[in-house]
Amino acid sequence: SSPAIPRLAPCEPRTHLAVSSLPHRTRLVFPNQPPFLIQPRSDARTEIVQEGAAEMSTSWGSALTHISPYTFAAIGIAVSIGVSVLGAAWGIFITGSSLIGAAIKAPRITSKNLIREIATSLKAICVIFCEAVAIYGVIVAIILQTKLESVPTSQMYAAESLRAGYAIFASGLIVGFANLVCGVCVGIIGSSCALSDAQNSSLFVKILVIEIFGSALGLFGVIVGIIMSSQATWPAKA
């Protein structure tokens, strides 16, 4: 059942209702008159906010074009070095833990002299491959840093400026995550290499070939990232 409609007592003609204080869409009923609805007055500030919100688009394209291209460039540089270092650390952690554990059974797979070990049996090459992943990220981050240029405020959101910011962001994203996957891949293969070499030293070279192909994944990301960063051209200063 519908709620009972409140009836107001008759009022004098000079009496006015405070419409702004009434709730939204209040239904009033006067004696000997049909019921009618009264809309409350909206605040002026609310109208301005509503007009501004109506003018702004809520699409993703509008949101991306209203973010500074320098923000995208800075995020790309940070991802390039940060995620690459994360991948290198992850790979070294995986390889190092297995290498130390396997050294208990076969101490010959480790050495105190890293240079002599590299020159003789290449047992430490697994850790070096993981460290190369971080070096890739540092190199690309330096290259991306040199791509930043100052532009006038009037050209901040020009198409060329946005294109440069997106290019640097995409380059850092590609390099960072390619090196992350490469570091984990090299770490897992290096772990298997250490455990296999502890059982049979003749398996080291065979697994090392697999690790070389795994380390090439990060190099592919570096190549594509450098090509992508070459598209970052900022508007010429007036």
Same structural domain, 107 and 225: yes
61 lies in a domain? Answer: no
C-beta separation of 222 from 174 below 8 A? no
Given CA atoms 58, 62, 64, 70 in this order, what sign does their dihedral have? negative
9 lies in a domain? Answer: no
What's the residue count for the chain? 238
135 lies in a domain? Answer: yes
**C-alpha separations of 27 from 11, 17, 39, 174, 214 in Å:** 17, 13, 9, 61, 74
Q: What is the pLDDT of residue 222?
A: 94
Question: Which residues does 204 contact at the CB level (< 8 Å), separation at least 6?
Answer: 121, 122, 123, 193, 196, 197
Give the C-alpha separation, 185 to 183, whole Å.
5
18 lies in a domain? Answer: no
Helix (H) or strand (E) holding 133: helix 125-146
CATH of the domain at 163: 1.20.120.610
Domain that holds residue 220: 70-229
Q: What is the pLDDT of residue 17?
A: 44
Query: Rounded to 10 degrees, what is the CA torsion of 9, 15, 21, 24?
Result: 60
Same structural domain, 86 and 43: no
222 lies in a domain? Answer: yes
149 lies in a domain? Answer: yes
Give the C-alpha separation, 176 to 83, whole Å.
5
Successive 10-residue mean pLDDT values, the chain, 238 residues: 55 44 50 54 48 57 82 94 94 85 69 45 71 92 91 86 92 95 91 80 79 88 93 79
Q: What is the pLDDT of residue 19?
A: 42
Q: What is the pTM of this model?
A: 0.68
Q: What is the pLDDT of residue 10?
A: 53
Q: What is the pLDDT of residue 173?
A: 95
Q: What is the pLDDT of residue 223?
A: 95
Number of folded domains that form the chain = 2
4 lies in a domain? Answer: no
Q: N- to C-terminal Cα distance for the chain?
A: 73
Q: What is the pLDDT of residue 15?
A: 42
